[in-house]
Amino acid sequence: MTRNKLLGFVLLAGFVATAPSAAIEKGDEPPISDKVKEKLAAFERTGETVSCIGIRQIDEIKPLDDYRFLVRAGNDYYLNMVSGRCSRAASAFTRIEYTTSLSQLCRNEIIRVVDNSQGFEAGGCGLGDFERLKKKEETAGE
């Protein structure tokens, strides 16, 4: 069994929004904060989903809030809406971890939220489908 841990997160460049009103929102999803709207404003939803992403392709998984993770795999970006709530996932004082025996990270895999200082598990959640995002092109003058 392969054990994979994501221990730290680096802020992705290019998340600064030019207009929060251009943010991604969808049907019956949990409320989205202005901060998350700003981070997602650089992307458009495509509606295309995949159930798994190869672990070696994944460069970063960034929890945006307790419900949404932004996944960067090379030049591709995905939005993952977790099932339920992944409490404290986006906190600066926690990290996310996962264990899988597969070479892919897939829908329904359990993500654990771990406290950085004490090492105890603070919660967890199951991943949803990975929705491909299209990065918006910058226009002149932005």
Name the percent of the chain lying above pLDDT 90.
68
Structure tokens that stand for 131 in this block = 């929705």
DSSP 133: E
Compute the Cα dihedral for 48, 50, 54, 60 and give only its sign: positive
Q: If we measure between CA atoms, which residue out of 128, 98, 91, 101 comes closest to residue 112?
A: 98
User: Residue 135 above 70 pLDDT?
Assistant: yes
Strands (E), the chain: 43-50, 52-54, 60-63, 68-73, 76-81, 94-97, 104-106, 110-115, 121-126, 130-135
The region of weakest confidence among 14-23, 104-113, 119-128 is 14-23
Q: Cα separation of 47 and 44, whole Å?
A: 9
**Residue 67 near residue 128, CB atoms below 8 Å:** no
Structure tokens that stand for 6 in this block = 């994501």
**Region 85-113: what's the mean pLDDT?**
93
| pLDDT tens track for 6-44 | 333 322 222 222 223 333 445 578 899 999 999 999 999
* Strongest mean pLDDT among 6-20, 59-73, 97-111: 59-73
| pLDDT tens track for 35-45 | 999 999 999 99
User: Residue 70 above 70 pLDDT?
Assistant: yes
Q: Cα separation of 114 and 95, whole Å?
A: 5
Reported as a pLDDT band with limits 50, 70 and 90, residue 101 is confident
